[in-house]
Chain A
């Protein structure tokens, strides 16, 4: 490091507020250190690089970073796919087929995009689970939980809107099944119908276009925003449940080490996605025939439980009431920090754990049931 020599970094910093750009990266968890803007950039960077910080690349904290990396992969591969995809009922399936069979690496990009989404959902769900078990929802970490759970819900939406886009028979009908579930939820169902231009559970030309817009523009923006807020909260309060504030020192990782860890994480994730994509490729079934119901199509796996719930209660619970139960359950999930504490205080930790265990068991049972009836 030679302070006299003026490098390209100095050249840039005379023309750009580099610290601003750096803090953008900080916001998404890639870095966890602020740059000292009073120093020359090279020096500030070197100082930041050597600064100790909590290790976000150690299990289980690494999940957050992995999620961000995966979202990055999804945005990148998704961006590539938009170069060929055409969101019209006539063109959707054909363009998907073109991507898969004719475009160089088209199948590869598609597979990575698909598996990235599945992995992302799994990681986000795992994260919420670990937050619950390690009680990362108690004050002052309420918002950490709320944003993490909202992120999971938004990711489900992104997956759902994405799965319809190839306009295959299975995609179409699994989308219809999903809408059937969503539309029974009071208020929210109406909102979804309104926004996606669906009447009943009929998926029209308009729906495809709107799902596309949601999938490629609005939901990614929502996810990035939530991550920003989520990480911002983490930077303030930290993830260590035994402490009240984030502390930088004790993990003993310098920032430079963290960057290497990040590179390792990226390599591992990309390797996993590529392997999944090559060994378990997703085919492209025949195009959608909106007038011929395809038998045996399930709603997406994360909606199987609500689907099973509706089927079970169909005979004795009005549909809107069943929808209300679903809405209440989802709300309770997002708002765990605001009721779990008082429950714990009254009935002890055990009660909460039992409650959560029952919830998970019911979910699994309903999913199983939903698989059968669908």
Chain B
């Protein structure tokens, strides 16, 4: 940064631009206007933390050299950043009013990022890479890079950078794959409950979960599936073979929901083509398939009946209940055993059959047709009587 003495006109303009600048920082702004503007938007600015809060120096001095004396740190060396932030953020006293945790620095130091930085690696991520440099915002601010909605892009800045990742021997397509996954798409669709990178890898202590731990990580959200999984033969079998739990079928990052139709073929990827295990898969697939087909048929019939219109409110409500059983079955499948799936799908199927049965009899128009036949008999009789009377009248009046 060159040393300039600002012209008075420029000074006025700058002051106008940053009307909220803390008085203590007024000298910094003379040479570092752009940084000041960014910092003014940060959460630090609203809490009264100015330039010197991180950079030190003497803000009162108008002399360039004097201003950058006295504990000044440029932080141009990125490895110094975490420590600088920790000066406040690891201090319980200072963080208490904000109810912020103070263990991030400690956790960071255990993370892969932290370890690399400690090893002198300038390229590893430091606080500012994820939280912003001067315009640090709270993570729930929509424009914060640490906001769940932006996190994919934030991590992707480095982890999607091919040349950078190659240096570490990392895959640079993970973020891309994540974004195509069911999780990534849910986040993109605005579901704040859907997991981002940090939900599996940890926040400040970001580290890839160990192979044996992936299942536990998934299980924090997919509780039911994991319980079923552990109870079934896969739970013990995969652990014994030291194979990953969920990943084996669902892969990682690009996690896609499996189609019911995949069940048999998926089993055959590990098991012999005609083994009992594949049979179980096929059986389960058949059960779920049959149940959802039954429900599809029932739904079609319901829609048809609705147009008549019959009162199908109750049928639709029961259909919703039956669909719940099928969704449940798709979770229970993780126990890779036929019986529990059979139980729930049987319930779903019987509801579907019941609905169809009821609607068929309601839609059946035989009754209406019998009524119509009786009606026509009556009409014909009436016509016979009326024509007979007419003929007699004609005879009586002596004509025709």
Residues from chain A with a CB closer than 8 A to the CB of B383 are 264, 267-268
Comparing A144-152, A279-287, A288-296, the segment that makes contact with chain B is: A279-287
Q: Could you say which residues of chain B place their CB within 8 Å of the CB of A254?
A: 393, 397
Complex contact B307–A285 (CB within 8 A): yes
B371 (CB) vs chain A CBs: closest residue: A278
Stretch at the interface among A210-218, A240-248, A255-263, A362-370: A255-263
Contact string, A98-111, partner B, CB cutoff 8 A, digits 1/0? 00111000000000
Complex contacts, A270 vs chain B, CB 8 Å: 379
A13 within 8 A of B: no
Contact of A128 with B by CB under 8 A = no
Cβ B379 vs Cβ A267 within 8 A: yes
Q: B372 at the A/B interface (Cβ < 8 Å)?
A: yes
Distance A285 CA – B307 CA, assembled complex (angstroms): 5
Tell me whether chain B's interface is mostly helix, strand or loop, or mixed.
helix
B394 at the interface (CB under 8 A from A): yes
Interface readout for B360-400 with A: 1 if CB under 8 Å, 0 if not?
00000100110110011001001100110110011001011
Contact of A257 among B369, B376, B397 (CB under 8 A): B397
A357: which B residues are within 8 A, CB to CB? none
Give B residues with C-beta under 8 Å from A.
Answer: 306-311, 365, 368-369, 371-372, 375-376, 379, 382-383, 386-387, 389-390, 393-394, 397, 399-400
The 9 A-B pairs with the shortest beta carbon distances in the complex, nearest first, are A283-B307, A271-B379, A284-B309, A260-B390, A278-B372, A101-B311, A264-B386, A101-B309, A257-B393
Q: Which residues of A contact B308 (CB under 8 A)?
A: 100-101, 281, 283-284
Chain B hits for A178, CB < 8 A: none
A285 to B308 CA separation, bound complex (whole angstroms): 8
**A–B pairs, 9, beta carbons within 8 Å:** A101-B310, A254-B393, A257-B390, A260-B386, A264-B390, A268-B379, A284-B307, A285-B307, A286-B306
User: Which chain A residues lie closer than 8 Å to B372 at the CB level?
Assistant: 274-275, 278-279
Contact partner of B368 among A263, A268, A278, A283, CB < 8 A?
A278
Contacts of A100 in B (CB 8 A): 308-309
User: For residue B394, which residues in chain A have a CB less than 8 angstroms away from its CB?
Assistant: 257
Of B311, B368, B375, B400, the residue contacting A102 (CB under 8 A) is: B311
Residues of chain A with a CB closer than 8 A to B369's CB: 278
- Check A260 against B389 for contact (C-beta < 8 Å): yes
Say yes or no for A7: interface residue by CB 8 A criterion: no
A side interface size, CB within 8 A: 26
Q: Please give 14 more A-B residue pairs, beta carbons under 8 A apart, in addition to A100-B308, A274-B375, A283-B308.
A: A102-B311, A257-B393, A260-B390, A260-B393, A261-B390, A268-B379, A270-B379, A271-B379, A274-B372, A278-B369, A278-B372, A281-B308, A283-B309, A284-B308
A227 proximal to B (CB < 8 A): no
A160 at the binding interface (Cβ < 8 Å): no
B243 vs chain A, min Cβ distance (A): 50
CB distance from A169 to the nearest CB of B (A): 11
Determine the chain A residues whose CB is within 8 A of the CB of B400 once the complex forms: 252
A97 at the interface (CB under 8 A from B): yes
Q: A101 — which chain B residues lie within 8 A by C-beta?
A: 308-311
Minimum CB distance partner of B394 in chain A:
A257
* A278, B308: Cα distance in complex, Å: 12
Residue in A102, A261, A271, A284 whose beta carbon sits within 8 Å of that of B376 in the complex: A271
* B379: chain A residues within 8 A (beta carbon): 267-268, 270-271
Distance from B259 Cβ to chain A, minimum over Cβ atoms (Å): 30
Q: Whole-angstrom distance from the CB of A269 to the nearest CB of chain B?
A: 11
Quick one: which of B307, B376, B399 contacts A252, CB cutoff 8 A? B399
Measured in the bound complex, the distance between the Cα atoms of B399 and A254 in whole Å is 10
A264 cross-chain contacts in B, Cβ below 8 A: 383, 386-387, 390
Residues in A neighbouring B387, C-beta threshold 8 A: 264
A15 to B376, CA, bound (A): 42
Contacts of B311 in A (CB 8 A): 101-102
Contacts of B393 in A (CB 8 A): 254, 256-257, 260
Task: Give complex CA distance A133, B387 in Å.
Answer: 31
Chain A residues whose CB sits within 8 angstroms of the CB of B368 once the complex forms: 278
